[in-house]
Structure 1
């Protein structure tokens, strides 16, 4: 099973950063130059860049270009963040629209975050999350194939945490979360019914089982004007 082209480009760029060929804060070549270098369309190149930006590896600066992200301050939130539970606690009706759902080889970031071997696959799904029918976030979630068990697609895409707790008997007791900021590209803006360049809150979360094995790696982009996080100490 060969990785999609944009994942191959994602991995190549990430490797350049990890080996120091591109430094923290360095501006990347233009999209035109990169697409010519990789021999792909600008649309495919942008998909790879968007994935790296969602992971916090790259940073888009409107009117300036794309840069290797500098180190950011990280703030740990308390508890596991389940979109379904968050919405219900606020008296809103959660729902989801699945954009993509497939088993595939993991990207370098997914292998690292989920501690996978080269021969292991992940379930990667992209969803738009709604509250009372209003789009709140775009989410990319990755789960090791061997942890899915006999869960059905409907269970996974609707309320994953509830399903794994009650059907697979998994306890999700550990979470690592980081929050950053980004802006909506044309594709994300269209899905979330906002304008290109509107501010987004970027949440990256690794959820772990009771034995500390990584269970899920999620990259979520929340519409800043429709959602906010708060912290308790």
Structure 2
């Protein structure tokens, strides 16, 4: 690996960018072991501390993973949510240079349950579009997605080919572009069906994300539950301390 490190930007940022470019271009393929910190430092003419900071930043982005006693490797697939950004699965994959596809496991229109009606603000029994998908990046299974949308918002939903189509794009075309979402995550154990479809063992940890998404009119447009393989997904958040009246920080 070679790179020209010049300019006013911090060296660790330049090193991170150089390695990231090699990964995204495929010159360092998924699963490949990176050169040691000492080797990289010698080749790039920087300190090992600089290399370590760059590699740690790549790990935070999900591009690199550490194997204790073995070194650092390019992640095979690791999807990471940018802090405070509402993006579709397709958009998240595209940011990593990966192609998002889906296997549609179930797609139907059915009456809304009482709970769904209360959460969305529609009449019980109103038509709901429901879809279950296995989500993949470059053909690698990453997540199982369960989504529900009031059919009145986008009547064409049952006719869309969701093997490649983005739900967010379809909703935007229907005049219901999503602008914000309430998002919660928790750990769960894979059941037999999830394990079979995601290629993990029964009981392996998954990250379950629940989403309630809104459009610009503050309508609830989508209810979603997504179970991610824990080794192929990271969620980033930006946390800000609240200020007390008078300017001090909350203890």
Q: Could you state the TM-score of these two structures normalised by the residue count of structure 2?
A: 0.58
Higher helix proportion (structure 1 or 2): 1
Give unpaired runs (5+ residues) of structure 2. 1-82, 240-251
Q: How many residues align?
A: 156
Match of 1:154?
Answer: 161
d(CA) in 2 for partners of 1:209 and 1:81? 14
Alignment match, 2:49: none
Deviation per residue, 1:77-117 (Å, 9 max, x gap)? 61324111111111211110000000012234322332221
- Structure showing greater radius of gyration is 2
CA gap 1:156/1:118 in 2 versus in 1, 3 angstroms = farther
Q: Which residue of 2 aligns with 1:222?
A: 228
1:109 equivalent in alignment to 2:115: yes
- Counterpart contact for 2:90–2:166, Cα < 8 Å: yes
- Are 1:93 and 2:69 matched, yes or no? no
Report the secondary structure of 1:146's partner residue.
coil
1:25 counterpart residue number: none
CA contact (8 A) 1:156 1:163 kept: no
Q: Which has the higher contact order (CA 8 A, sep 6+)?
A: 1
Structure 2 counterpart of 1:54: none
Deviations 1:26-76, CA, capped at 9 Å, x for gaps? xxxxxxxxxxxxxxxxxxxxxxxxxxxxxxxxxxxxxxxxxxxxxxxxxxx
Match of 1:182 among 181, 185, 188: 188
Q: 1:145 aligns with which of 141, 151, 163?
A: 151
Residue of structure 2 equivalent to 1:26: none
User: RMSD value over aligned CA atoms?
Assistant: 1.8
- 1:114–1:215 contact (8 Å) kept in structure 2: yes
- For 1:203 and 1:182, the matched residues in 2 are separated by 10
